[in-house]
Structure 1
Amino acid sequence: MTDFCLLQPSRRAFIRNTLNSVVSCCALGTLAGCASSRTSTTIATKATDAWTQAEQIRTQVRAPEFPDRIFDVRDFGAKGDSAHDNSKAFAAAITACHKAGGGKVLVTQGKYLCGAIHLLSNVNLHITKDATIAFITDPNAYLPAVFTRWEGMEIMGYSPLIYAYGQTNIAVTGAGTVDGQANRTTWWPWKGSNFSSVDWGIAGVPTQTEARNKLMQDMENNVPVAERIYAEGSYLRPVFIQPYNCTNVLIEGITITNAPFWLLNPVLCENVTIDAVTFASIGPNSDGCDPESCKNVVIKNCFFDTGDDCIAIKSGRNADGRRLKTPSENILISNCKMRNGHGGVVIGSEISGGVRNVFVENCEMSSPELERGIRVKTNSVRGGLIENLFVRNVTIGEVQTAIVIDFDYEEGDAGKFTPTVRNIDIRNLICQKAKQVFQVRGYARSPIQNLHLTNCHFKEVDAIGVLEKLDNFAATNVTIKGVEFTI
């Protein structure tokens, strides 16, 4: 272990004076490991081997294909007049398509008002550029309750707006829009001020707080999921799109906007392709894309402008995540653009099942409102094993903090499930402007292991920030304000 205060005087002066760091020598505490503890050649070799696996993910994850049959929702009574409730017509078209062996359920020319849509195997819900599905804001349109996850906890809750359970070969495609119609008077006020710097509540409107607290207790007490009834009267906002326990999933081309809650949350799915989707929702908990306990996922060519994390990889919360023991793994994120959001590419915080083998490449992030670039968030209540995160060729225009690994998220060090974070390789990252470079702090009993930065350049920054409790940290050709950063 190397104490920051033992670094050469010129180095300390650089950190304190040249960068006007807000973090003092004593506040930084111990900075673990040295680049010399592992040669740069060895580090580069391991990263190259890892990216070979990324290429395998790219090749193996294939979008589902569908028979050349078209089922136009208008033939089943749908009307794109912004007024007619098309719930039954959409259900009839999907059922007919499924029974015929699959094909395309076509939504075109108009604005179609609808309640919950439940996809079935071999169905591609295709929305053309001139069409919008606008979802009814009456919560009763999302009953009866379905088996779903909410903030990483299993419940019987409101149906996601677009939902599928246990299906194979499903898709939502096209250049059209799905609009949840959530706003400051609909859905969003249920958030209240719970875990938020913004009070979304409206006087006299109930919020999620009481039900959320009770659900936490039900989970810790192992109450059977069938008895966790959290739909009507609980005020837990539904996810917009949630394929659950599905195989061969494609979400392509659409715009998702005004979501009640998370925008896209595949759960326990395998072979998932998310391509050229626009995620545009600024409400509370408007995470863009949250693959949760999923395997073999490709997220590419997407645009994010969200009120919470742009991409957040998850694996279940606390007792539920540990009971299911299903990590998210083999995830490739490529050629995406992030604007507003709490984080660009994030792992956590519902992370108790673990995450491994995540690859991020050729992404652009920038906004004064983008709080963090690359982030890992957990604590000793969540726990989890997070390993093998590889990042290359990422450009950050403006961000508040570039790299964050946070073991003190929300509840902090208040549990008995110590997280492990190891094997993070970041290379060819260029950050033009940041308030600080690092907010990285492990536990003394569980230091962050093998964090390696190569060819990373942070140009205009106010502070280095925090690097504390690491084991085998390496920085090779890393500059901050044009000055080499060495440990």
Structure 2
Amino acid sequence: MSTPSTSRRTFLAVAGTVSAAGLLPPVLAPGAAAARSTVDRLARDPWERVPEILARIRPPTFPGRRFDITRHGAVGDGRTKNTKAFRDAIKACHQAGGGRVVVPRGRFLTGAVHLRSNVELHVQSGGTILFSKDPKDYLPAVFTRWEGTECWNYSSFVYARGRHDIAITGPGTLDGQGMDGPWKSWRDPGGNALADQAELRRMGTEGVPVAERIFGDGHHLRPNMIQFYDCRNILIQDVTILEPPMWTIHPVLCRNVTLRNVDVVGRINNSDGVDPECTSDMLITGCRFHTEDDSIAVKSGRDEDGHRVGVPSEDIVVRDCVFSGRWGGIAVGSEMSGGVRNVFAEDCRINPLDFPGRFNPRHPVFIKTNKKRGGSIEGVYVRRFTGRAIDRDCVYLTTRYGGQQGGRPAVIRDIRVEDMVHDGARRAINLEGLDSDPFTGVHIARCRFTNMAQPNSIGFARDLTIRDVLVNGSEVVYP
């Protein structure tokens, strides 16, 4: 564990970092111009943009019509398959001009549920949508994006493409039965998921037409729990979502998305909580994530296929959430080749005693890319995070993710972490950059880190500022 120095004020190089040359390349050595640039940048408060973003985010509203799935033949005994009843109720609601499709008390087994415009799927208290463990219930294959690469694959459990004004609301439950179906065996050693994953990535890298990237039946790419593709005006509110087969909530190429007061619990690997991908104007507030991967991971496509689509994720606001996910709390990447801009996260708790993870999370702030991904991450702003007991680093930025090499720039710039209070971790700060692609404009201020086991590690960070930061009682300041 690091110990306080004789003086309570130390410089970064003393705190176990690389040399000053690695921190600040000679071309931008300290001087009047660099100092003026830093002062000017810090004087502009990026949080002033948040009200404008929130003004554009408006949850959809729905007509007062009600369509109970039991009136379309659904039986809530947990055994009868109700796929047709869901389809018929949603169709009737849509054709009537919209309204609420109601799932009452009971356990309603179903295959894929495809939403239509102007439809709110409402699960009442005591009601559960229980998703089938049979992969054939998610066929025919649909147009989707799987880990950042477009293809045709099994339908997500709840799916919509090209729709508007859609919602899933509570206070009931969506249960994916992810650990009980075949999904885990596909990804476990001896399964076939990795071979299909490699083949899809090859297709994306080589530019194979998307129409020829056919997976689904006979293949082993796990579907997402909820995926909305190229949709707008979306609300997910109050529901509890259990045991996804993979990523839980995955809006792709969507606009105007609200995720409010949602609990996500997943034990299967890669069970991210929510993955906004190429999505803009999204609010995530009051949600709790207990997953086996990142809680929130902002994405925008993978490698060559992400560059081909070329749409960033931007203007995303995260507030008042709880992160007990195995990896990152607020994460960006690694599939971010289309770029990410303007992510704001505030007032979140990491691994609190009232919502602890099965395993300790690893990084409250996790920003990740590499030179194969390319793209840029610009403008991630985090403030007032509190937490305890994580396995690795409180603030972790890396342009070496996965050790993958490539020829594209790996850009991470304009990152702020302020007013973080955290007790118990490997390190407070780990900036793992590259000499060829240094971080630019990283600012860490007014943070308190206690019980850090190792010193900070800082490499290749240009225009770095650290102010009023205590690590194990010693003040760390730069420059």
Same fold, TM exceeding 0.5?
yes
One-letter amino acid of the counterpart of residue 144, structure 1? P
CA contact (8 A) 1:145 1:157 kept: yes
Equivalent residue number for residue 99 of structure 2:
103
Matches within 5 A, 1:430-441: 430-441=421-432
Please list every run of at least 4 consecutive aligned residues from structure 1 whose deviation after the TM superposition is greater than 2 angstroms.
8-17, 23-26, 32-45
Q: Please give the secondary structure, in 2, of the residue aligned with 1:464.
A: coil
Q: Say if 1:97 and 1:105, in contact at 8 Å, map to a contact too.
A: yes
CA offset digits 1:346-378 (Å, max 9, x no partner): 000101000001100111112561011101111
Paired position in structure 1 for 2:289:
304
CA gap of 1:301–1:38, structure 2 versus 1, over 3 A, is farther
1:375 aligns with 2:373: no
RMSD over aligned Cα atoms: 2.2
- Structure 1 Cα separation of the partners of residues 10 and 162 of structure 2: 59
1:398-417 correspondence to structure 2 within 5 Å: 398-399=389-390, 400-412=392-404, 414-417=405-408
Task: Give the deviation of 1:396 after TM superposition.
Answer: 1.8
Contact 1:29 1:468 in 2 (8 A): no
Aligned positions of 1:152-231 closer than 5 A: 152-183=148-179, 186-192=182-188, 201=189, 206-231=191-216
Greater CA deviation, 34-43 or 227-236? 34-43
Match of 1:478 among 463, 469, 473: 469
Once residues 250 and 282 of structure 2 are traced to their aligned partners in structure 1, the CA distance between those partners, rounded to angstroms, is 12
**Conserved 8 A contact 1:153-1:320:** yes
CA distance in 1, matches of 2:172, 2:137: 22
**Equivalent-residue separation in structure 2 for 1:142 and 1:124 (angstroms):** 21
Alpha-carbon spacing, 1:118–1:35, altered in 2? closer, same or farther (3 Å)? farther
Q: Which residue matches 1:258?
A: 243
Matches within 5 A, 1:74-473: 74-183=70-179, 186-192=182-188, 201=189, 206-366=191-351, 369-399=360-390, 400-412=392-404, 414-473=405-464
Question: Does the 8 Å CA contact 1:310/1:344 hold for their aligned counterparts?
Answer: yes
Q: Compared with structure 1, are the counterparts of its residues 173 and 440 closer, same or farther at alpha carbon in structure 2 (3 Å cutoff)? A: same
Determine if the alignment matches structure 1 residue 30 to structure 2 residue 15. no
Structure 2: state its 5+ residue gaps.
352-356
1:9/1:467 CA distance change after superposition, 3 Å: farther
Post-superposition offset of 1:411: 3.8
Name the CA distance, whole Å, in 2 between partners of 1:289 and 1:35.
Answer: 43
Structure 1 counterpart of 2:423, one-letter code: Q
Show the counterpart of 1:45.
43
Question: 1:465: Cα distance to partner?
Answer: 3.1
The CA distance in 2 between the partners of 1:42 and 1:432, in whole Å, is 32
- SS state at 1:230 partner: coil
| Contact 1:356 1:386 survives alignment (8 Å) | yes
Alignment partner, residue 5 of structure 1: none
Contact 1:310 1:342 (8 Å CA) reproduced? yes
Q: Residue type of the partner of 1:277?
A: V
Contact 1:386 / 1:421 at 8 angstroms: preserved in 2? yes
Deviates more, 1:388-397 or 1:132-141: 388-397
1:441–1:467: 8 Å Cα contact kept in structure 2?
yes
**Following the alignment from structure 1 to structure 2, what is the Cα–Cα distance between the partners of residues 129 and 185?**
25
Secondary structure of 1:211's aligned partner: helix
- Quote the Cα distance in structure 1 between the aligned partners of 2:383 and 2:309: 32
1:34: how far off? 6.3
Q: What amino acid does structure 1 have at the position aligned with 2:172?
A: G
* Larger displacement relative to structure 2 (128-137 or 33-42): 33-42
Cα distance in 2 between the residues matched to 1:392 and 1:149: 31
Question: 1:215-252 CA deviation, whole Å, 9 max, x = no partner?
Answer: 11111111111111011111000000000000101011
Question: 2 CA distance for matches of 1:479 and 1:149?
Answer: 43
- Structure 1 unaligned segments of length 5 or more: list them: 1-7, 193-200
* Cα 1:312/1:34, change in 2 over 3 Å: farther
Closer, same or farther in 2 for the Cα pair 1:378/1:75, shift >3 Å?
A: same
Q: Offset of 1:340 from its aligned partner?
A: 3.1
Letter of the structure 2 residue corresponding to residue 261 of structure 1:
M
Distance 1:82 1:25 in 2: 59
Residue matched to 2:354: none
Q: Which amino acid aligns with 1:45?
A: A
Q: CA 1:125–1:13 in structure 2 vs 1: closer, same or farther (change >3 Å)?
A: closer
C-alpha distance in 1 between matches for 2:71 and 2:455: 61
Q: Per-residue deviation at 1:383?
A: 1.0
Q: Number of aligned pairs?
A: 461
* Separation (CA, whole Å) in 1 of partners of 2:17 and 2:449: 20
Counterpart-to-counterpart distance in 1, 2:18 and 2:114? 56
Distance 1:254 1:35, change over 3 A: farther
Displacement after TM superposition at 1:88 (Å): 0.1
Q: Deviations over 1:384-420 (max 9, x none)?
A: 11101111111122222101111111143x1111211
Residue pair 1:34, 1:473 contacting (<8 A) in 2 also: no
- Aligned-partner SS, 1:456: strand
Q: Classify 1:170/1:34 alpha carbon distance in 2 versus 1 (closer, same or farther; 3 Å).
A: farther
